[in-house]
Amino acid sequence: MVQIQTRDALVFTMAGRSLDHEKGSVAIMKRLKVLVSALAALAIFTGGAAADVVYTATNGSNSSIGIIISSDKYEISKHAANFGPYAKVFSFRDDKGNDKILVNDYLFLNDDRVYIYTPGKGDKAEKDSAVTGATNIYGVATIGQYLYFVGYESYDDEENLGSGKVVRVDMDNDYQVVGNPFELEDSVFKNKDGWTTTGVSIKEYADKIYVVTQVHDASWTTWAQGEVIALEPDLKEAWRRKIGVNAGGTSEGITLYDDKLYIGCIGGKMGDGKTGEYWEVDLSEETSEKIIDLSDEKHNLGYPYGGAGIAIDEDGNAMLMLLNYYIPDENSPYDIRMRPRLYFASVEGMVADGSIGAEVSQFTGKEGSSWGVSYDESTKTFWCMAGKELIAFNKDGSQKQEFSRADLGDDIYSVAVVGPIQDAGGSGESDNGPGGGGGCDTGLLGGLGLLALLALRVSQASTASSKCRRG
């Protein structure tokens, strides 16, 4: 059952909710203790700093939040948090032009804990909300006053795995759910037992919502072609088209450029030797077409690689992430390793002759469970993550800086591209009225200028995240 809860305290945004479902005053005090240390660190952002990304990192038990600050050389500020192991960050802009940061805490069999935070210049937010909706949220999009979530999966009362859903909420009405969710069903497999349709990405273009799906059996071993489903703002289906198998494995396998979606496809279950593809879906013509076959010998890849990610800048330069998952020891089937590789290409070359361009990095790490690529138009930077590493690239494909696990605090898990932090000014005033106090009932947020951190200019809703699925 979909429920909406609103909070007037950022304490829940930063402290999150761990998988042990602690209850009572002891749990609250533990979280407040974590929050105090986080807020003390955040106080440095009351000045005129600049940030490029907010990220989450995980140690397998809990997630933390970090901020990469732009200067002569990137600097990292790491913050404690008590999220579960799979917390992700997203960014979006509402119908009034306000930038928002969304933190999603994935809780497996339950609806996710989703926290939406409104940036401001002082220390009083316009609104803090906690939204419970789809399970394992893989992306967000907006049309007018509506915010849309795509959930990867769902579960029934017996904890049986079900297909993903698209949920619509009204940002102008306390983030209340509007109507029924759109349940993701594949056009071919919807009436076949044992098959599941999962949601991996959601984009908005020309007053429609576009959802990208994967299709697989209950054992996650057999995969079929996914689809792009076009939805009207009220979640009524407009049209759908077939794409490749196991699209991207994550929301960052997909990007929107001009009026087309470009989609990387893994090709099948990760680690079983399948080779992937890249697809183009023309949203104006309502057509889909395979444009790159990674099994083509001209690519000279050596191993079977899937299309795991793609980001495109305003000039049509593209960063492609190719991924090969393998199991080095058959006696240890859960010891999965990755061979991620990055290629710098162009949309023109991809479409004209199926070119993947020139290789720019193979990453050094072989472990980890996340990958993705994003582009920040404000700083002309490609952000690429795989395994335990995050690398920033210039617009021309040259490397800017590399961030290791030691730099990030834990294994990189998600990245939300943001713009520069505005100057807090120190006046206690914000666009939303006088500051002071605000936040949680205990007044912990009052003097720390916390909202200066989140007075961000979001460069569209761009985020990189994934979780190592059984697929």
Q: Please say whether the beta carbons of 77 and 43 come within 8 A.
A: no
Measured over all CA atoms, what is the biggest interatomic distance in the chain, rounded to whole angstroms?
A: 63
One-letter amino acid at 127 equals K
383 — phi, psi (to 5°)? -110, 120
Residues of the chain with CATH 2.115.10.20: 133-245
The per-residue pLDDT for range 257-288, each reduced to its tens digit, is 999 999 999 998 876 677 999 999 999 999 99
The pLDDT value recorded for residue 9 is 26
The pLDDT value recorded for residue 72 is 59
The pLDDT value recorded for residue 213 is 96
Alpha-carbon span 50 to 210, nearest angstrom = 32
Alpha-carbon span 279 to 341, nearest angstrom = 19
| Between 64 and 207, the higher pLDDT residue | 207
Lowest mean pLDDT among 75-89, 187-201, 219-233: 75-89
Residue 315 has pLDDT above 80, yes or no: yes
Looking up tokens 């069903």 gives 185
Closest CA to 224 of 185, 189, 271, 261: 189
The per-residue pLDDT for range 247-258, each reduced to its tens digit, is 976 667 799 999
Q: Please say whether the beta carbons of 440 and 10 come within 8 A.
A: yes
Alpha-carbon span 404 to 447, nearest angstrom = 33
> Residues 46-66: what's their mean pLDDT?
73
| Between 157 and 244, the higher pLDDT residue | 244
Looking up tokens 């761009």 gives 462
| Between 374 and 457, the higher pLDDT residue | 374
Specify the CATH architecture of the domain 133-245. Answer: 5 Propeller (2.115)
> Residues 234-241: what's their mean pLDDT?
98
> Residues 179-189: what's their mean pLDDT?
93
> Residues 369-391: what's their mean pLDDT?
88
DSSP 400-444: EEEE-HHHHSSEEEEEEE--PBPP-TTSSEETTEE-SS-SSTT-T
The pLDDT value recorded for residue 46 is 35
pTM of the model: 0.80
- pLDDT band at residue 394 under the 50/70/90 scheme: very high
| Between 398 and 24, the higher pLDDT residue | 398
Q: Please say whether the beta carbons of 26 and 431 come within 8 A.
A: no
444 — phi, psi (to 5°)? -65, -25
DSSP 264-315: EE--SSTTS----EEEEEETTTTEEEEEEETT-GGG--SS--EEEEEEE-TT
Cα 291 versus chain centre, distance: 25
Alpha-carbon span 222 to 123, nearest angstrom = 51
> Residues 17-46: what's their mean pLDDT?
34
Cα 149 versus chain centre, distance: 11
Q: Please say whether the beta carbons of 87 and 54 come within 8 A.
A: no
Residue 436 has pLDDT above 50, yes or no: no
Alpha-carbon span 77 to 80, nearest angstrom = 10
Q: Which residues pair with 374 in a beta bridge?
A: 383
Looking up tokens 């917390």 gives 87
> Residues 376-387: what's their mean pLDDT?
89
> Residues 345-366: what's their mean pLDDT?
91
| Between 467 and 226, the higher pLDDT residue | 226
Q: Which of 92-101, 265-274, 310-319, 377-386 has the highest mean pLDDT?
A: 310-319
CA geometry: angle at 84 spanning 11 and 149, to 5°?
A: 80
The two three-digit tokens of residue 108, written as one number: 């497996």
Alpha-carbon span 18 to 378, nearest angstrom = 34
Closest CA to 267 of 290, 286, 288, 287: 290
Residue 212 has pLDDT above 50, yes or no: yes
**Looking at residue 369, what DSSP letter applies?**
S
- Tell me what percent of the residues of the chain surpass a pLDDT of 70: 70
Closest CA to 267 of 281, 255, 278: 278
DSSP 31-47: HHHHHHHHHHHHGGGGS
Closest CA to 68 of 446, 302, 407, 348: 407
Alpha-carbon span 389 to 342, nearest angstrom = 13
